[in-house]
Amino acid sequence: MSIADIDALVGGLWSSDVFEVTEGRSHWDYASERLSTRPVSLDASPYGELRVTEWAAAAPAFIFGAGSTIYGSTSVELAQLDNLTNVVVIEGGYRFPRLWQENNTYSWTSPQMGGHTMIGPGFCEWRTNSTELPTKAMVSEALTGSGQTLIGADWLPLPDSHPDPCDTGAPWINTFYPELLLGFTVNAARRWTQQVTEQYSIRIEATASVAQAGEQITRERLALQIENDQAEAWESDPITEAKPGGAHDLVDEVRREAAINVLMNKARTTILGAHRDTKVRIEVPAPMVVDVDLIHTLRVDDAGIKAVGKCSHIEDTFDMTSGEAVTQITLSVQRGGDSIAVNDPLVMPPLTPLVDPPTGNTYAGLSTQLSGRSSDPPFDEDLDGFSGSFDSYDPGTPERYPRRVKVTAPEIDEARRNEHVNEVPALIRISIPNDTLEL
């Protein structure tokens, strides 16, 4: 059968993150994997047609009353406690990359502009007591040196040449200084990748069975990691456009939901299957039961046994010598100890929301250090901003400050850089109704 035909016949759920990929594998194994997520059996009708049969008992279609079974043929096989799985714990991680971008704004204005922000009056103030100035290249290099990328800027350059820009009769010739800046406001960004793991511990239990028989636990493992080319290139690729600061999770909800839904349904099916391991067997003359099929629920009230269960096996035995024709019928009786049905839905645990992402740009006003005056303080190597010298230098002043722009990016919180683990516990209770069984 093709994969599509099996899907249509069997139904159920399947995930390549739980099972192996289908290529090159037995299609019977694939069908069995889908069956493991449903409380059903794949069997054949008396005419050989494949079909799916529900495990749950319904109203009895046939009743075997007193004297209807062959004497001494009835038997009961009780489920063994060691095989009575009543708790399945799904453990494991769902790991994905979290892409961070932090945007920062830095601003600097020459203090020699006298507090003006307009180029005209500010330039005229600066000209009366001029200083060295930074360039666009110096600003960009300072950002790069801090691990950031320039993504936007408002520059305040020296004005173009003018015959008398300040109404003082003095012309201004700007032939050699087009890159010099009286001020700037720049936006910079940096990126990093953080790994996030959703650490699941999903407990699915038949609560009444646990209370009655104690815990019989099996475990299922989930190991799902999202790999994405965007995450691989996030830190190394150039930042070509400004994006809002904050985090972006590269998740694959289709894969996550498929894998966890498979495991939850597989767990429930495992528990239901373990609680229908009690078998009641009867033998009857074959002609009496030619209409009994695996789709039927049966009732037995004979030989000291009262039982209701789904017909799970039919075996015909014919003795060609004696002419004896006997059919052995097996009832699978479901026993879970429940008097009150408590069924929690198999709800997918939601992704843990991101807590406290950056809400916007950080802003820093940069300082200025200028040398050339006798009162100059010692140069502060660690101070962010622009440093340089006055064009007119007082005699006897200390050594000039270096002409540079220095920017330090804010420290990244370790909680946003180191791997982050979210513990995701969950409890799902299922109810297993008791089929009739009296001995």
Q: What percent of the chain has pLDDT over 90?
A: 76
Residue whose C-alpha is closest to residue 36's, from 220, 205, 214, 206: 220
Residue 305 falls inside a structural domain: no
pLDDT of residue 364: 85
Long-range contacts of 239-242 (CB under 8 A, 24+ apart): 239/101, 239/149, 239/151, 239/189, 239/191, 241/151, 242/103, 242/151, 242/152, 242/187, 242/189
pLDDT recorded at residue 140: 96
Within this chain, do residues 138 and 253 fall inside the same structural domain, yes or no? yes
Q: Is the pLDDT of residue 239 over 90?
A: no
Model confidence at 394: pLDDT above 90: no
Q: Are residues 261 and 396 in the same domain?
A: no
Q: Cα dihedral angle (228, 229, 232, 233), rounded to 10 degrees?
A: -140
Assess if residue 53 is contained within a domain. no
In a domain, 231, yes or no: yes
Domain annotation covers residue 40 = no
Q: Which of 79-93, 208-222, 387-401 has the lowest mean pLDDT?
A: 387-401
Predicted confidence band at 336 (pLDDT cuts at 50, 70, 90)?
A: confident
Highest mean pLDDT out of 10-14, 178-182, 210-214: 10-14
Give the pLDDT confidence of 281-331 residue by residue, as tens digits. 999 999 999 999 999 999 999 999 999 999 999 999 999 999 999 999 999
**Number of domains making up the chain:** 2
Domain extent at residue 373: 369-406
| 62-64 vs 437-438, strand pairing mode | unpaired
What does the pLDDT read at residue 355?
79
CA distance 437 to 254: 43
User: Is residue 263 included in any domain, yes or no?
Assistant: yes
Same-domain pairing of 112 and 244? yes
Q: How many residues does the chain have?
A: 439
Longest dimension (CA), the chain: 135
> 376 and 270 in one domain?
no
109 closest CA partner among 63, 150, 156 = 156
Domain assignment present for 162: yes
For residues 239 and 295, give the distance between their C-alpha atoms in angstroms, rounded to a whole number.
64
| Cβ partners under 8 Å of residue 12, min gap 6 | 33, 34, 35, 36, 37, 38, 265
Same domain, residue pair 352 and 383:
no
Residue 119 pLDDT: 74
Provide mean pLDDT across the span 149-161.
93
Min mean pLDDT across 66-70, 78-82, 115-119 is at 115-119
Higher pLDDT, 394 or 240: 394
Residues 381 and 395 occupy one common structural domain: yes
pLDDT band at 358 (very low <50, low <70, confident <90, very high): low
**Strand pairing of 87-109 and 217-225?**
parallel
Residues 252 and 398 in one domain: no
Q: What is the pTM of this model?
A: 0.84
- Residue 243's pLDDT band (cuts 50, 70, 90): confident
Q: Are residues 400 and 361 in the same domain?
A: no
- Lowest-confidence pick of 165-169, 340-344, 390-394, 428-432: 340-344
87 and 118 assigned to the same domain: yes
Mean pLDDT of 216-222: 95
Q: Residue 340 — pLDDT band, cuts 50, 70, 90?
A: low
56 φ/ψ angles, rounded to the nearest 5 degrees = -65, 135
**Do the domain assignments include residue 249?**
yes
Q: Is residue 55 predicted with pLDDT exceeding 70?
A: yes
Q: What is the pLDDT of residues 90-145, one digit of tens each?
A: 999 999 999 999 999 999 999 999 887 777 889 999 999 999 999 999 999 999 99
Residue 360: per-residue pLDDT: 58
Mean pLDDT score, 273-280: 95
Residue 302 — φ and ψ, nearest 5°?
-155, 155
Residue 174 domain-assigned (yes or no): yes
Mean pLDDT of all residues belonging to the chain: 92
Cα pseudo-dihedral 393, 399, 404, 408, rounded to 10: -130
Confidence check: pLDDT of 34 > 90: yes
Over range 9-35, report the average pLDDT. 95
Q: For residue 39, what pLDDT is reported? A: 97
Phi first, then psi: what are they for 204, rounded to 5°? -115, 120
Name which residue leads in pLDDT, 428 or 239.
428
Q: Do 165 and 137 sit in the same domain of this protein?
A: yes
255 and 397 both lie in a single domain: no
Tell whether 121 and 262 lie within a shared domain: yes
DSSP state string for 316-335: EEE-TTT--EEEEEEEEE--
pLDDT on residue 359: 55
